[in-house]
Amino acid sequence: MAVDATDLECRARTRSGCIPPELVSRLLERGHVDVVELHAGRGEWFCALAWARSLGEQGRQADALEVLGPYLATGWWTAVAAAAALLEGWGRAEEAIELTRVRMEAGHPMALEFYARLLARHGRAEEAFTLLRRHIGDLPLGTLVDVAGAAGRDEEAAALVAARTEHRCTDFPWCCKGLDRDTAFGYLATIRERQGRTDEAIALLRASSTSLLNNREQLAAFLARHGRLDELRAMAATDDSGSAVQHLARLLEEAGDVKGAIAAYRQAGSAVAGNSHSAFELAQLLARHGRGSEAIDVMRVQADIYNGHDWVLHTLAELCLDQGRPEEGLAHLDTLAAARGGEEEWDLYWIRLPLIAACDGVDEAVAQARSHPEDATRYAAPHIAELLAGAGRTEEAVAVLEQHSSSNCHDLAGYLIDLCRVEDAMAILLPPAPRPPTWAGGRWHDEPPF
């Protein structure tokens, strides 16, 4: 088996020309272990990783490493990190450290942080901190801040971070490599919290949370961790990001005060009404505790405000479906569609299909899907196929997707695997490489050679 790091990286990132991880899992779930093992030896990285993990769980660690050997030999960082994680999980940390050290010393940009964190997790935090100190400008400062705690060098790290709080950006992120003044305040607050200097940490976050959303989230999480409910309530009343009310509600719910959690959202008032993500959290909270009608009402208000936002409409439809009220969901969607002028493009229309199926059956849902002007498109096919497969009509789902196989190869291959047509699935996922063109004689040709 010949594998190339560049090719592996391309296929792993794009999920094209390979068996993707979700389908590897599907093969294993359906009992096609032999297929995964076969393709692990044929350059299929996700098969190799799954098979190596399986062998490790069986106590066959040497065999697992042998499977990963050809991938490691390319120097591909993803394979190195995966092998190191397996070794660490097996209690062989020193081997994991040595494996990553080689790549780190070769200058791989991702290896330094991984190696340092690995050292810190296994009693060598001092060594890791010293290493990071030498490479202070080559990686995110957050790594050094994290390692400093284990190394007992918080004050030294704090001094390094504090120096960055004086920076004033002139060309963010280029002028400071993304480590702007407010981000530095957040890192410094992390150190102070770790040292038990709670009030100082809060003051740092308050000074920077007005301009940086991440620091508002960090401040809200900090107040929740330390049970500072009054301050969290005060923040929730004015925080239009929704971070504070979400942390407050989660804290109250975990303490068993569901009414208090719901009230926190209600009391936030306009901050929640104008924040669809906070409204979504409130709706989920209500639904979890048997108050489905109120959850639907919350998302209906959001759908009125953000009519045409697909995820809001989808959440509303799913709530109606989960509450056994699909007719109501369809009525809501009809009203909203009318407010938009009556016509729906497919990216909004498909949201109603599960509701139609729940009301009138899958055949009616498919018939209505077929009546839509975009029903024969490549992007409509997966939704229609999902309806059919959900009703146990997988062969029909395959027939729908085969009309657009190049655009929906993963969905199609998944259903073929369900039907035990594994060879057909592999043929779709791993088509043979095209032969190079042969050109007629003569100096000039009508078509370019690519």
DSSP states along 337-372: HHHTTS---HHHHGGGHHHHHHHH-HHHHHHHHHTS
CA distance 201 to 70: 48
Q: Which two three-digit tokens encode residue 398?
A: 């395959």
Q: Which two three-digit tokens encode residue 85?
A: 């994680």
pTM for this entry: 0.88
How many CA atoms lie within 13 Å of 423's alpha carbon, on the beta-carbon side?
Answer: 0
Sign of CA dihedral 175, 176, 180, 185: negative
Look-up of token digits 């799954």: 50
Dihedral, 380, 381, 383, 387 alpha carbons, nearest 10:
140
**CB contact at 8 A, 319 and 331:** no
Q: Please work out, in degrees rounded to the nearest 5, the angle formed at the alpha carbon of residue 290 by the alpha carbons of 284 and 294.
A: 65
Instruction: Please report whether residue 146 resides in a domain.
Output: no
Q: What is the pLDDT of residue 70?
A: 96
Low-confidence stretches of the chain (pLDDT < 50) are 437-450
Give the closest residue to 334 by CA, choosing from 360, 300, 362.
Answer: 300
Give Cβ neighbours of residue 261 (< 8 Å, ≥ 6 apart). Answer: 248, 249, 250, 252, 253, 285
Contacts 24+ apart (CB under 8 A), 383-389: 383/350, 383/353, 384/353, 385/411, 385/415, 387/353, 387/354, 387/357, 387/362, 388/362, 389/415, 389/418
Residue count of the chain, please give it: 450
CA distance 294 to 299: 9
Q: Which two three-digit tokens encode residue 3?
A: 């594998």
Q: Which two three-digit tokens encode residue 298?
A: 């919350």
Instruction: Please report whether residue 111 resides in a domain.
Output: no
The number of domains in the chain is 1
Dihedral, 143, 145, 147, 152 alpha carbons, nearest 10:
170
Q: Describe the crossing of helices 310-322 and 326-339 by its angle, rounded to 10 degrees.
A: 160
Instruction: Please report whether residue 411 resides in a domain.
Output: yes
Instruction: Please report whether residue 403 resides in a domain.
Output: yes
| Full DSSP string of 44-67 | -HHHHHHHHHHHHHTT-HHHHHHH
CA distance 124 to 201: 27
**CB contact at 8 A, 315 and 303:** no
Q: What is the pLDDT of residue 447?
A: 42
Q: What is the pLDDT of residue 211?
A: 58
CA distance 98 to 107: 15
Instruction: Please report whether residue 356 resides in a domain.
Output: no
Residue 450 is which amino acid?
F
CA distance 318 to 312: 10
CA distance 94 to 10: 30
Look-up of token digits 């901190």: 129
Q: Which two three-digit tokens encode residue 289?
A: 């505790």
Instruction: Please report whether residue 240 resides in a domain.
Output: no
Q: What are phi and psi of 74, to 5 degrees?
A: -75, -15
Q: What is the pLDDT of residue 136?
A: 83
Instruction: Please report whether residue 382 resides in a domain.
Output: yes
Instruction: Please report whether residue 406 resides in a domain.
Output: yes
Range of the domain at 411: 377-430
